Structure 1
Amino acid sequence: MYRDVDYLFIPKVPITERTKAEVRMRTLLNTLLVSILVLGLFPSRVVAKDPLLLLMGQNAAPLQLAVEIVTAAYNRLGIPIVIQKMPRARSIAMASAGQADGEIAAPRVFEKVFPELHRIDVPIMTIDVLVYSCDPHILESKKPSELRWGRLNGARLLATFTDDYENVWLGETQPELFGMLKLGRLDAVIAPRIALHLYSDQNEQGCIQRVGAPLRTVPFYHYLHRKHSNLIPIVKSEFRDMLASGDIERIKDEFYNKPSGPEQPPKS
């Protein structure tokens, strides 16, 4: 008397009639099924063969904090990344063209211009946009349109504050802009809060000081090219988990509490 045995995707056959080929087929199918179940149960852990190339502006001071937050998120996901710095305008254009996999972080102001970049809709940091000058009363004594302004070239967020002015110097680095300010070649510079603190680590601050309250507090987001649409919900979920657990706040505290680190902005 033969005993029937159920096999995955194989009809019932007497056990003594199983061939070596059937045994190999059963093993293969079982392995395939387990692989499918693992991928279905654990979609948030992705094993990437090649690292993602993420770009950032080489002189974008606030992004140093974003680098630490984004790196921590991808490490938790098991996805390797490579970060490359280049001029801001070039980095966004390359990421949008699909020559890179995404941008470390950016504000929302350029989304209509570069629709191929998809926002991970969880703000990972905010920056304060400030006016700096050697004259603390510069905005009271002159009309803004009469001033010689300076801002970083390619910084679309900062451009929104100077688009209506004719006399705007586009600097390639913050030290260049602050140096011109100290020499009296510029009247005012628009820059993020962190920029002057990083500059002061390597240079004399001199007469430069903040003028007035922040012009705006702007949230920054991580961006991926649309070719990685499958990763967007996974990375978004990871950022949400990091916010809920306090990990992003911890990374911020460690960043601002480093020796000679930048001043931490006031918490709302």
Structure 2
Amino acid sequence: MSMVADTPMQMIAERVMTQVYERLNLALTPVPLPAKRALQAADSGQVDAELLRVADIVTRYTNLLRVPEPYLMMQAMAFSRAGFPPIRRWEDLKPYRVGVMRGVHYSAQATEGMDRLIANDMEQLFDLLQKGRVDLVVTAKLNGAIEMRQRSGPPLMMHPTPLYEAPMYHFMNRRHGALVDALSREIADLKASGQLQRWVDEAVVETAVELSATRTKAFVQHK
């Protein structure tokens, strides 16, 4: 299963979907890749599934089947240094230098034509912001909130108004289409019981701890 590498929301989703698969007696093996390559790998059949995307990717990647029941909600937020003027809509970004993640279609489309830099991963995206190479970055709320916890240096802020909201889905390559309905029913049952949200809450904490430990280890090795 492909997933976007080094991205908190994807790490949360991987923890959740691993448990969904286990309830169906299936094993999930994540393959972390850059965002665009992750979709290409799932669409071409190099891997069996794509972990987490918005619904409309099937218009561009036609070998992917969407599991109908969403399992996470994505809110796209603007992040800046503290004290920045309010950002409430995409148009508010136009006067500024904006950072987005490579291969993330909603932010690429919404910022097309703007003064934009594209980052390869979440750490690089927020490095651009803290180093002053961009004025704002746009990413999912979960990504930004967890990333900000990992950082010292100039204080950052999340602007409170979502620029975009969308349910997020799991996708299967067509050759595994027989699993789509079973996965959808399982997700729906887990949502109804409250278990899915409990797994999400646990995964948020675990992901923050994992990222902190990884960054600390990398810093020590660099020294």
- TM-score, with length taken from structure 2: 0.84
Seq. identity, %: 22
Report how many residues are paired: 207
Cα shift at 1:60: 3.0
1:256–1:59 CA distance, 2 compared to 1 (3 A)? closer
- Stretches (4+) displaced over 3 A: 256-262
Letter in 2 for 1:217: E
Cα shift at 1:105: 1.1
3-state SS of paired residue (1:234): helix
Query: What corresponds to 1:203 in structure 2?
Result: 151
Q: RMSD of the alignment, in Å?
A: 2.3
Cα shift at 1:258: 4.8
Equivalent position to 2:29, from 82, 92, 113:
82
Structure 1 or 2: larger strand share? 1
Query: What corresponds to 2:166 in structure 1?
Result: 218
* 8 Å Cα contact 1:126/1:217 also seen in 2: yes
Equivalent position to 2:4, from 42, 52, 57:
57
- CA–CA separation in structure 2 for the residues paired with 1:112 and 1:249: 29
Q: Which protein, 1 or 2, shows the higher relative CO under an 8 Å CA cutoff with sep ≥ 6?
A: 2
- CA–CA separation in structure 2 for the residues paired with 1:204 and 1:218: 30
* 8 Å Cα contact 2:54/2:167 also seen in 1: yes
Query: What corresponds to 1:162 in structure 2?
Result: 111
In structure 1, stretches of 5+ residues that fail to align are 1-53, 263-268
In structure 2, stretches of 5+ residues that fail to align are 211-223
Equivalent position to 1:70, from 17, 28, 33:
17
Query: What corresponds to 1:245 in structure 2?
Result: 193
* 8 Å Cα contact 1:199/1:205 also seen in 2: no
3-state SS of paired residue (2:29): strand
Cα shift at 1:66: 1.2
- CA–CA separation in structure 1 for the residues paired with 2:204 and 2:8: 13
- CA–CA separation in structure 2 for the residues paired with 1:211 and 1:197: 11
Cα shift at 1:257: 4.7
Cα shift at 1:215: 1.0
Residue pairs, 1:132-171, within 5 angstroms: 132-134=79-81, 135-137=83-85, 139=87, 144-165=93-114, 167-171=115-119
Cα shift at 1:205: 5.5
